[in-house]
Amino acid sequence: MNLYNETCFECSKIITKKYSTSFSKGIKAFAKRFRYPIYAVYGFVRYADEIVDTFHGFNKALLITEFRKETFEAIERKISLNPVLQSFQKVVNTYQINHDLIDAFLRSMEMDLENTSYSDDGYKTYIYGSAEVIGLMCLKIFCEDDELLYTQLVPKAQSLGAAFQKINFLRDIKSDFEERGRTYFPAVDFNNFNEQEKKLIETDIKKDFDDALEGILQLPVGAQLGVYIAYVYYLELFKKIKETPAKVIMQKRIRVSDRQKMFLYFQAYLQQKLKVIS
């Protein structure tokens, strides 16, 4: 069984590396005991997202329904022949991750099949399910048996997840709007997206970032650097987006180069080691 579990976790690791080089670099900064569990969470959420975003020509609603069913069966049985679900259920059962978090995540994936625009309430529900709960799953892993620390950091983890997701929305406006017909930000007309609307979104993101940093500084030592690296990557992306006019955001995807990411990785490493994170 050990060999089977190891190969399943390795599958999740491969998925992470293939889909996100920057995220996989951040995971390397975690203490070794955290790496497989975080790969497992990423592999699970990545594949669910793939169903709704890229499986064109297939019955996405049926696929996500089956994926939901198989997920909770794997958790209940504590076994799955799907390597992604096997590694994920191991993490859920080991760290006692609340099933409501998983349900909220899958519900947000289902919302992508049902909605092309969102009200304020729908937007908040989607952000919670698609991003904040992922932060809470990871936080549960990082805090291990320290329930008090977990409870204290819940709002901060939610803020970090929300900041990341809102930046993703800004970065991916062109593909979401033109290719998928989705508009996540409430009451924003992307046919006439302007600087004022962009500034309001950026102000909201800035608040999330400020809240999140307080929580990062309180994370266990084995988790802090990896999360801080992800924070630094996204902060740099956020800076580039803020410097880019609204009309340009609608025309191309803003990104951080691999060279910049490498520089930011070592900068974050030194800041954390020298305890000058700010």
Domains and CATH numbers, the chain: 1-114 (1.10.600.10), 145-278 (1.10.600.10)
pLDDT tens, 17-30? 999 877 787 898 99
Quick one: pLDDT at residue 278? Answer: 56
* The pLDDT of residue 180: 76
Task: Share the mean pLDDT of the chain.
Answer: 91
Across residues 41-62, what is the average pLDDT? 95
Instruction: Label residue 275 by pLDDT band (50, 70, 90).
Output: low
Q: With a cut of 70, say whether residue 276 has pLDDT above it.
A: no
Q: By three-state DSSP, how is residue 5 classified?
A: helix
Q: Which amino acid is at 148?
A: L
Digit-coded pLDDT (tens) for 66-106: 999 999 999 999 999 999 999 999 999 999 999 999 999 99
Using CA atoms, how far apart are residues 133 and 126, in angstroms rounded to an integer? 10
Strand partners, 183: 117
Q: pLDDT at position 257, please?
A: 82
